[in-house]
Amino acid sequence: MSEDRKRTPYVRLGRSATLVSRLWLGTVNFSGRVEDAEAARLMSAALDHGVNCVDMANIYGWRVHKGHTEELVGRWLSKSGVRREDVLLATKVGENMSDRVNDGGLSARHIIAACEQSLRRLDVDHIDLLQMHRMDSAAPWDEIWQAMDRLVTSGKVCYVGSSNFAGWNIAAAQETAQRRNLMGLVSEQSVYNLAVRGADAELIPAAQAYGVGVFAWSPLHGGLLSGVLRKLAEGTAVKSAQGRAQELLPALRANIAAYESFCDRIGEHPAEVGLSWVLSRPGISGAVIGPRTMDQLDSALRALDLDLGEAELAELDALFLVPGHVARPGEGDAGPRAAGAGPQAASSG
């Protein structure tokens, strides 16, 4: 076992006995933003450094075609010489895969059909973690757990997780699972970072109460916390000049400027400081990273070793903490399922 593998901390996947790395390799940038060969290199490098979870969704790869990313991961598994048992494969179900009726949502029919399709694309006999991509208010929990129980009992799925849930969604899911004598959810993926912290209010406490591990997606908010002002000034901004980073920057420009000054003062890169802060938070099991380059992967790995002191964490907290913070759209889905939500809104990374 390499020194890098030993240094990477592992945590339990929620209340399960399975150990998973604190960093998960998110694949939302593959299939369109990252060439397939480079994506394979990133997956192999991440595994070599102890990152044992590859996180996907069945819609990922939509820039080429929906499902392309799962196909890519399947080819990597078959051709790289990686042992299947060394990799935890996590994918998601629930977003619309086509315009056909019933080709989306969390009906029992779609969950089972979508799982079978993911298994074929990945060319494996089981999925380690099948996650509901977002809440579907039209699907009764008894129906959802009936389908998930069938998949687990048949050996096609090991664990069930969620993504973009609200606290009360976690409670409803777990209460129904307990009545059916099922394990229920073991994990939740929630958007969480210095700038967007709605999960602190109810999601994280609910997850802790029910033994659900929380893994933060978009820990740098699409590049907003990776030195965006410096990159914009230098003309080097790529992802941080678009999407959710661009949308939030006007309202938080002063906070971001203070944050980047803080990072300069302590001599650390903003991307590593932002990720280290997320990993330090109570109730956060780990984070989903979405590197497009080896340099970005190396930066995320360095964040594991960055030890911010209590005074530094308190200063960071004060830079962005807004009293009475209310979750913004996309921080959790407490209302009707956004069946037609675009893939950008659903992406992790």
Which backbone phi and psi does 225 adopt, to 5 degrees? -105, 20
Q: Are 234 and 208 in contact, with CB atoms under 8 Å apart?
A: no
Q: What whole-number distance in Å separates Cα of residue 289 and Cα of residue 189?
A: 12
**Measured between alpha carbons, how far is residue 37 from residues 40, 41, 80 in Å?**
5, 6, 11
Which backbone phi and psi does 216 adopt, to 5 degrees? -80, 125
Number of CB atoms found within 10 A of residue 164's CB: 27
The distance of Cα 299 from the centroid of its chain, to the nearest Å, equals: 18
Tokens 């941080």, residue located: 240
Catalytic residues: 60
Structure tokens belonging to residue 76: 């990597």
Q: Are 349 and 289 in contact, with CB atoms under 8 Å apart?
A: yes
